[in-house]
Amino acid sequence: MSHSLDFIGLNEKLFLLRHFIAGNKEFSRREKQYQGTQTDPSDNWEEYSQRLRYVVSNDLIEIAAKFRVIQDTVSSQLPANYFRSLDKESMQGKAIGTVLSGNVTLTLRESCNKIIHAQNFSLVFENARSTVPRHIYSFWNGVCQLSGTHSKQPWRVALNVYRWADSMDYFLEDLADNVDW
């Protein structure tokens, strides 16, 4: 008997990540979060950015690890070309990220490997201006950068977490419909 597979929990985490990204800009505007590229940072910028990094990083690791376990558990029930085909189809013609350096094909499976094995992880922030009240604020734009080495070869990717989560959700939904659990 294999591990218990947590489709509902994964679906919930993916939903919350997408929701988190969609609401982050407004939250940062209201809370006047600013990283300090033009003036001093907001008083609690370090605490805020570290907390955000912690939440996103941990959710990505949990989702990636569970996704890999699910794929490996059901691999004997489905042909290998099913996974490759579903991986491509789940992206719906949209890239889940950008390879910044290295020899990487950014599939869902490979993105999970990169999340799990990353030696460096950072969130990408942007600045914006609020008109009322007037101030500059910083928000996470939904991209995280991951880097590391594979077989002594360096790699670096920028993962669009919203698109990644959407594609993961699509993949898992299709998989759940096609496997005898």
**What pLDDT sits at residue 181?**
62
3-state secondary structure of 72: helix
Quote the pLDDT of residue 91: 93
pLDDT for 4? 65
Q: Which residues touch 21 (CB under 8 Å, ≥6 apart)?
A: 140, 142, 161, 162
In terms of Cβ atoms closer than 10 Å to its own Cβ (0-12, 13-18, 19+), residue 68 is middle
Q: CA dihedral defined by 7, 8, 13, 17, rounded to 10 degrees? A: 100
Token pair in block for residue 46: 């370090």
Cα–Cα distance measured from residue 71 to residue 85, given in angstroms and rounded to the nearest whole number:
14
pLDDT at 1: 45
pLDDT per residue as tens, the chain (181 positions) = 465 677 888 999 999 999 999 999 999 999 888 887 767 888 888 899 999 999 999 999 999 999 999 988 888 888 889 999 999 999 989 999 999 999 999 999 999 999 999 999 999 999 998 887 788 889 999 999 999 999 999 999 999 999 999 999 999 999 988 877 6
Res 62: pLDDT: 95
Give every strand in the sheet of 97-101, ordered side by side: 97-101, 153-160, 135-150, 120-130
Burial of 79 (0-12, 13-18, 19+ CB in 10 A): exposed
Coil, strand or helix: which one is 181? coil
Q: Please give the Cα distance from 129 to 127 (Å, whole number).
A: 7
Give the pTM: 0.91
pLDDT at res. 38: 67
- The candidate with the shortest Cα–Cα distance to 106, out of 122, 90, 124, is 90
- The residue type of 100 is L
